Amino acid sequence: MTECKNVQDMIRLMASKLTEMANSLSDEEVSQFIDEILGAKSIYVMGAGRSGLVAKSFAMRLMHLGLKSYVIGETITPAMKEGDTVVAFSGSGETKTIAELCETAKGLNGKICLVTSKQDSRIGKIADCTVVIESHRDQVDDESAEYEIRQMMGDHKSFAPLGTLFETASMVFADSIISAVMEIIECEESDLKGRHANIE
């Protein structure tokens, strides 16, 4: 049998890192993020690679809440207008395709909300709202291509490679935002179920 690290220990280690990040979250950043979401006419989400999958999941949950949400790049996504908000998931805040799309959205008078681990970044400089969910990152040579090559953390690269912790934390953060918004708008789980896909 192949010898490998204890999977349960890896889960516990990742959970402990998520707890650390939860404790380091800024209440002000989170409150502003929620305000931007609730104040937007429409919400456009995006991310590259696995962060893009997190973004799609977040858009789906926003739709379940009854909010107008779209995934940038999908064929049915409508034109962005003033009063709309982009939510970008980018660990580095430098991913070229995402940064360029944010700059385009800004030119259309849209607002930018960034979920990242690096506030001082290309996207961070133009964002109206930034939530930093990971403070410990490896150095990489090319930040603009960072999502393809980054490692999670200095001493634990082997247990969660290629940005896994950021993406996992992003997913947990996004789902937690959904739970918080549910309470604010007094939305019940039955309301979400009523908007869930029924032609699967």
| Residue 187: pLDDT band with limits 50, 70, 90 | confident
Task: Say which CATH architecture domain 26-193 belongs to.
Answer: 3-Layer(aba) Sandwich (3.40)
Cα–Cα distance, 177 to 133 (Å, whole number): 13
Question: Which residues does the annotation mark as catalytic?
Answer: 167
| Residue 148: pLDDT band with limits 50, 70, 90 | very low
List, as one string, the DSSP characters of 149-178: H--S-GGGTTTS-TTHHHHHHHHHHHHHHH
DSSP state of 145: G
> In terms of Cα–Cα distance, which of 183, 159, 176, 116 is closest to 5?
159
Cα–Cα distance, 143 to 59 (Å, whole number): 26
Select the more confidently predicted residue: 128 or 145: 128
Residue type, 41: K
Q: What is the pLDDT of residues 24-67, one digit of tens each?
A: 999 999 999 999 999 999 999 999 999 999 999 999 999 999 99
